[in-house]
Amino acid sequence: MASIEGGAPSPENPLLPMFTYSKLAQGGIAAVSYLAGIAGEKRLAGSAEIAESRQLSRQLVAKILTLLSGAGVVEGKSGPSGGYRLARDAREITLLDVVKVFEDPKDRVMCPFGPNWCGTGNTCPLHDTFV
């Protein structure tokens, strides 16, 4: 990961650091972003198509789609003409909706803006969204 000149993020230097998510959460974000990108085409996408487009293994994508389907983020149709699509409009699906399928947000104790925000006075702009 490249470093950002100017030091760590803080209220005076509000550059967001890169979030670190599990492999499953990263794959979930990739799969949902692909499905959001084709939503206007009104078609289903198979796990192989999504895997190839995002350079992920088909087995991993199949597992991810099963979990996302169980959580109501995507819906799937089985069979030769089957595949997946978003369960609702892409604008209604948040990053948190996807990540919490794979991770418990309460396990994250670090503020996304860095160590000099929450806990040292005023909370960061995303505090209420993540807590």
CATH architecture type of domain 23-104: Orthogonal Bundle (1.10)
**Of 81, 96, 79, which Cα lies nearest the Cα of 19?**
96
Check if the beta carbon of residue 76 is closer than 8 Å to that of residue 83. Answer: yes
What is the structure's pLDDT at 126? Answer: 72
Check if the beta carbon of residue 34 is closer than 8 Å to that of residue 26. Answer: no
Residue extents of the structural domains in the chain: 23-104
What is the structure's pLDDT at 93? Answer: 96
What is the structure's pLDDT at 30? Answer: 97
Check if the beta carbon of residue 122 is closer than 8 Å to that of residue 17. Answer: no
What is the structure's pLDDT at 82? Answer: 95
Q: What is the pTM of this model?
A: 0.70
What is the structure's pLDDT at 78? Answer: 93
pLDDT tens-digit profile, the chain (131 residues): 333 344 444 455 444 444 678 899 999 999 999 999 999 999 999 999 999 999 999 999 999 999 999 999 999 999 999 999 999 999 999 988 999 999 886 665 556 666 666 666 677 777 666 55
CB-count exposure of residue 50 (10 Å: 0-12, 13-18, 19+) = buried
